[in-house]
Structure 1
């Protein structure tokens, strides 16, 4: 069997495997948020014995198609890549990277990274990478595309000369045209430590919904020195942050500013 015949045979096996994937056997998917117009990368890593025998396929399932096919008790997956071979040559926004790292004398780590450029709402859905050799391993991502993720206000003034504790209030605003149908997870971090309602008695997080927005508000009270650092608003893998610097009014006449940045 020459290389061309072998490729055709592998592609035939690929489509055969797609036909037998049913909705009730769908792998657990990690939820991923993408911002409209941005680039999104999804990665999978498999441990193999021989890179020459590694077969990894990327598949895609549209949300709308998934809902329709669910009623028929069967899902239909669209093939994207087989290893580095594109199975949708007309779709130029998809690209693939492969990395091979030797773990020991008998094993390698095979990594594959699927990148979608300038994502839009039509890219929402399930993405699955599937290793076919030597045993079947699946990883899946549930991708949702939002309009934006932002933090407000853009600037907060706090005097370090104030006696006692100070307070800040930050809003993380996720804008999504389908917010009423899709709950989102938003997390807050301060200096690489995750904050939540039970972090301490000085922290409160309140969540509100509007027609097209999910708003998470962080109320944080503490000594000014303890409030310095970086605050991150996260909807995995999107992150927006603001950096806090403390300066004395008495010594410099300059207030502390919290400047909005993208992470």
Structure 2
């Protein structure tokens, strides 16, 4: 059992490392125009779009005016700019809207009639067990000797080995050694099923930021809105109401 749990911890770390790897190109906004930049924030694809999405499976959606299309990493259109909506590619397909229809296309822009393949189910083993004392919750890790005292009202474990803990109305985070690495100062912490090991979204007084894989603060709560990370980037909305992207280092790819 200890071997299995150790493997789970290693798997969580591998997921985090993969998600911490930044993509080659990131949507970059300057003012109201969008292009794509490299890791050093040097512009690679010009600022010629009204909106742009992240690259997934080597393709990204872009918008000019009211219409969307898809480009490859060289900036070449692989579909016309005629869709009324467009989503990110995932497992070789993306959902688009055209007129009154909504359907999926493949990486060549061809319409698909077959349903998507369900995502593989994964079994998540517990990293320990919750303890109870005087109406409060604690935690005892199965691997190692770490024990979290029974002082919390709610405990949620992540596959990375980090615990999200609530005391009263405030949330914090505890690492796999039982140490409080994020103070109990946040109104909410939300972990997406796709990237719960790496980038939980935190909320404080109506502003949003992110945690890193170790449970520590990655980006302080400063955005009006924050979406889960996908393909190594996350879409955020600034205090001024402008959208933009950040990478797994918390670097911003936009200039107002």
| TM exceeding 0.5 | no
From the two aligned structures, give the one with the greater helix fraction.
1
Q: Which category of TM-score, normalised to the shorter sequence, fits these structures?
A: under 0.3
The structure with the larger Rg is 1
TM-score scaled to structure 2, two decimals? 0.24
TM-score scaled to structure 1, two decimals? 0.24
